[in-house]
Structure 1
Amino acid sequence: MAKDRLQVLAAMMDQGVIPVFYHPDTEVCINVIQACANGGAKCIEFTNRGDFASHVFLEVNRHFVKADPSVIMGVGSIVDAPTAGLYIANGTNFVVGPMLNADVAKVCNRRGIPYSPGCGSATEVSYAQELGCEIVKVFPGSCVGGPEFVKNIKGPMPWTKLMPTGGVDPTEESLTKWFKAGIVACGIGSNLITADLLKAKDYKGIEKKVAETIALVRKIRGH
């Protein structure tokens, strides 16, 4: 069973950086996710990107329920309600999508699962909030206006909690721009868990990179 919705949302915001990751090999996923958790990123977005991805997710989630229950597995790239339901049945703690789908919101709300849909306009963000989405994803972050988009949304809608993915780099310059604009968290994929680190199976390197990025966010926030 998934963790409490409010606890998951609080953990996502406290963490600040959500690693976004997919790999078809269960063992690689377990090692990468454990490295992220060891580096301070307990919330991980596993993207629904390949054939049998839900089977990989199930095996990985089962592993962490026993091996390290502090890990909060979520799923990304969800575009329809049946797929959301499949991952909810497999124990996902949060659902993220590249776009807004009202049916996904209903399925998630019914089961107390946080849903962060990808939005790129004030109207979409507002509709997501109407559907009960607490943290709204900005996607693709760099294409819809970057940090300026966040500032412009939060002007008339200051209650809005935004989480960009796409266009966020694990550098002080990039993270400072986004967090100073008012985001509550961000998703970072291949810029954080790089192809080179993956190819080398350098899990200690991934842990170090994640830890440095989490520390950067804490510094920017003044924590």
Structure 2
Amino acid sequence: MAAKDRLAVLTAIIEQSVIPVFYHPDEEVCINVIQACANGGAKCIEFTNRGDFAADVFLRVTRHFAKADPSVIMGVGSVCDAPTAGLYIAYGAKFVVGPMLNAEVARLCNRRGIPYSPGCGSATEIGNAQELGCEIIKVFPGASVGGPDFVKSVMGPMPWTRIMPTGGVDPSEDSLRKWFSAGIVACGIGSNLITKKLLEAKDYQGIEENFRKTIALVNRIKSELAGK
């Protein structure tokens, strides 16, 4: 996937289904974690825009993967305004995620052909996001706005909606089955798979295995649901 155009990125997110959500101030740690995620089958990465000089870290990491592993698709999360979105797009972000809906961010991303997934917590917000051209809607915080029951309630009258919750999604079969049964197309998972213990031990193989197992589990759940 050399060009990583909008449609290709959206397809990759849906096929991957489990999106790593991660930030670390150390460039080397970021590179090792992201490579571990990619090796485990999670090539679409949501780099969280948090901490001082996060954009500079993102730029260096994105430059690294452009040469070392071009199959990695770097996106950015926690984007609240258009200037920040524009900066990260200039630095190589192929998708943008935010904790809330911002019309200026949506217009900027549409102009540049970049997928934008805003955080929404009601049917009205989701509808507004869709009017602005958002294909995959982030439900945030996933557990606080109603969890899988909220997704089911939205999917009833709005079955065309593609939802990606972050917050409240555990990598257990019970949690994943409830969310995907409700109708989500993907989910963001951070510290439940990229754990503090694994990071402190620099156990990147452990992170890789976590994503490999979780993606395999989600694929099995999706296959079973499709067979119903």
Q: Equivalences for 1:167-182 in 2 at 5 Å? A: 167-182=168-183
What is aligned with 1:144?
145
One-letter code aligned to 1:62: R
Are the aligned partners of 1:105 and 1:131 in contact in 2 as well (CA < 8 Å)? Answer: yes
Structure 1's consecutive aligned runs of 4 or more residues displaced over 2 angstroms after TM superposition are none
Q: Does 1:88 align with 2:89?
A: yes
Distance in structure 2 (CA, Å) of the matches to 1:138 and 1:72: 21
Q: 5+ unaligned residues in a row in structure 2: which ranges?
A: none
Paired amino acid for 1:57: F
- Following TM superposition, by how much is the alpha carbon of 1:2 offset from its aligned partner in structure 2, in angstroms? 6.5
**Cα distance in 1 for residues equivalent to 2:4 and 2:205:** 28
The whole-number CA distance in structure 2 between the counterparts of 1:38 and 1:190 is 18
1:164 aligned partner, one-letter code: P
- Residue 160 of structure 1 corresponds to which residue in structure 2? 161
In the TM superposition, residue 192 of structure 1 has moved relative to its aligned partner by 1.1
1:93-134: CA deviation from partner (whole Å, max 9, x where unpaired): 000000000000011000000000000000000000000000
| Partner Cα separation in structure 2 for residue 99 and residue 182 of structure 1 | 21
TM-score by length of 2: 0.97
Matched AA of 2:156: G
Name the structure 1 match of 2:133: 132
Tell me the CA shift for residue 222 of structure 1: 1.0
**Matched letter for residue 187 of structure 1:** G
Structure 1, unaligned stretches of length 5 or more? none
Structure 1 CA distance for aligned equivalents of residues 193 and 129 of structure 2: 28
Q: Does 1:185 align with 2:186?
A: yes
Amino acid at match of 2:5: D
**In 1: Cα distance, 2:14 partner to 2:170 partner:** 18
> What is the aligned partner in structure 1 of residue 69 from structure 2?
68
Alignment correspondent of 1:23: 24
Match of 2:185, SS? coil
Q: Secondary structure at the match of 2:194?
A: coil
Give CA deviations for 1:160-218 in whole Å, capped at 9, x if unaligned.
00000000001101000000000000000111100000010000000000100000100
Distance of 1:109 and 1:78 partners within structure 2: 15
Deviation sequence 1:55-110 (CA, Å, 0-9, x none):
00000000000000000000000000000000000010000000000000011000
Q: What one-letter code is carried by the residue in structure 1 that aligns with 2:10?
A: L
Task: State the alpha-carbon separation in 2 of the partners of residues 196 and 73 from structure 1.
Answer: 24
Q: Distance in 2 between matches of 1:95 and 1:222?
A: 28
The letter of the residue matching 1:87 is: Y
Residue equivalent to 2:40: 39
Distance 2:100 2:3 in 1: 23
Q: Which residue of 2 aligns with 1:205?
A: 206
Identity of aligned residues (%): 77
Q: Letter of the aligned partner of 2:79 in structure 1?
A: I
Task: Please say if residues 75 and 96 of structure 1, whose CA atoms lie closer than 8 Å, have aligned partners that are also in contact.
Answer: yes
The residue type paired with residue 71 of structure 2 is S
In 2, distance between residues paired with 1:215 and 1:141?
A: 22
Alignment RMSD: 1.0
Distance 1:2 1:122 in 2: 33
